[in-house]
Amino acid sequence: MSSPDLAAAGFSLEPSADVLEMRDWVHEFAKDVIRPAAAEWDEREETPWPIIEQAAKIGLYSLDFFATQWMDPAGLGMVVAFEELFWGDAGIGLALAGTGLAAVAVASNGTPEQMGEWLPQMFGGPGDVKLAAFCSSEPEAGSDVGAIRTSAVYDQAKDEWLLNGVKTWATNGGIADVHVVVATVDPKLGSRGQASFIVPPGTPGLSQGQKFRKHGIRASHTAEVILDNVRVPGRCLVGGKERLDTRLAKIAEGRSSGEQSAMRTFEKSRPSVAAMAVGIARAAVEYATEYATQRYQFGRPIGQNQAVAFMLADMQASVDAARLLTWRAAWMARHGMKFERAEGSMSKLVAGETAVRVTEQAIQILGGNGYTRDYPVERWHRDAKIFTIFEGTSEIQRMIIGRAVTGLDVR
């Protein structure tokens, strides 16, 4: 079938002209601004506010940019943008992208009024940038979302929700202007008895706990969030109380209530997280390939040796495969297609494990140089590891995929 025939049939692996133009624009920012600053902010282990401000000035860190890419007709805008940002650096990339998970939680599950009020406050604007944090994990509830103990009690007299608990591993936790918190409204129902709440800026009782010193993604702030008698208005229940009451009533009657909001947030975000891992992996393959063509041993480039060339071949094939799985999941999500075979989890699993493997192989190709901080591959390897852990571990992804494939209650 010829290319025109394929186009007429509606099939194409080529992103739109708008997405390609955006990709090149983001890549230039990653190349000229992010990558030169990556090592410094990795060492400092601080939020790179000057770079976030630069991104805001050109419209890269903005609600408009995120919304435009999220609504790309093919679903590829956001994943293409994230691949480029994380090609630049994962820590700085996550500092720029971390607000997105909280935004997705509200955009996917919130009312139009909530989206209109809170999404702009998550990003701010040039000269007054804002951050948001999505707070789900707890010290005793990581992969086991049903074990969340942060409580939400409704005060009908005041039309307020009272939140108490401790969240952990929260990107932007404690320094964010807007926090979206997953809490339990009915402990007997496990994850089905949970809801998400928006905590406005400056709300009394919310504070930062421990800030974590991490193996990788060090330019991204990760911390505990303490909720001590935090009161939020009734309108801050994501989706509204009527929807929550309807869902709980269905559960009480033994009917299906649909997927819990936090799980919907994770599922929708998985292709974007996979794209981040693809960006790191691609950076490592490109760097190792260039090194292998320029590094001479025994009178020839080391890339001329099969041991190195075959490694690079496997690395490149793995990155391309991970990208295709990511694009498929993003396309399906944009078109409202259900992940019948856990395609979102597939993309995240394969991309995350690919990033870890190819960054390690890049270190091997660079030899002793790769093991030093004078070369970026050791940092990329440290950064890559988180993609087999956060947003659902590789083991959890395999469990989800296994359930979808077998139809059995895999545990």
pLDDT tens track for 333-349: 999 999 999 999 999 99
What gap in Å lies between CA 201 and CA 34, rounded to an integer?
Answer: 28
Is 391 catalytic? The answer is: yes
Instruction: Cite the beta strand spans of 256-307 per DSSP E.
Output: 296-297, 300-301
Annotated active-site residue in 21, 46, 391, 395: 391
The whole-angstrom separation of Cα 55 and Cα 127 is: 11
Q: What is the C-alpha to C-alpha distance for residues 199 and 163, in angstroms, rounded to an integer?
A: 10
Angstrom distance (rounded) from CA 155 to CA 158: 6
User: Which residues make Cβ contacts (< 8 Å) with residue 345, sequence separation at least 6?
Assistant: 270, 339, 392, 397, 400, 401, 404
* Per-residue confidence (pLDDT) for residue 261, from 0 to 100: 55
Tokens 């140089």 correspond to what residue? 369
Integer-rounded Cα radius of gyration of the chain = 22
Token pair of 393 as six digits: 């571990």
Residue 253, pLDDT score: 78
Contact 220, 98 (CB under 8 A): yes
pLDDT of residue 262: 57
Instruction: Give the phi and the psi of residue 296 in degrees, each rounded to 5.
Output: -105, 135
DSSP state of 15: P
Contact yes or no for 34/90 (Cβ under 8 A):
no
Give tens-digit pLDDT for 167-177: 999 999 999 99
Q: DSSP state, 147?
A: G
What pLDDT is stored for residue 3 in this prediction? 45
Name 170's bridge partners: 223
> What pLDDT score was predicted for residue 260?
56
Rounded to whole angstroms, how far apart are CA atoms 391 and 371?
28
- SS3 of 131, please? coil
Residue 165, beta-bridge partner list: 227
DSSP lists the bridge partners of residue 207 as 226
Integer angstrom CA distances of residue 170 from 137, 176, 390: 7, 10, 10
Per-residue pLDDT, 10: 63
User: 196, 151 in Cβ contact below 8 A?
Assistant: no
Q: What is the pLDDT of residue 144?
A: 78
> Average pLDDT for consecutive 10-residue bins of the chain (411 residues)?
47 90 98 98 98 98 96 96 98 97 93 97 97 95 83 97 97 98 92 94 98 98 98 97 91 68 68 97 98 97 98 98 97 92 96 98 98 98 97 94 96 90
146 near 178, Cβ under 8 Å?
Answer: no
Can you tell me the distance from the alpha carbon of 10 to that of 14, in angstroms, rounded to the nearest whole number? 11
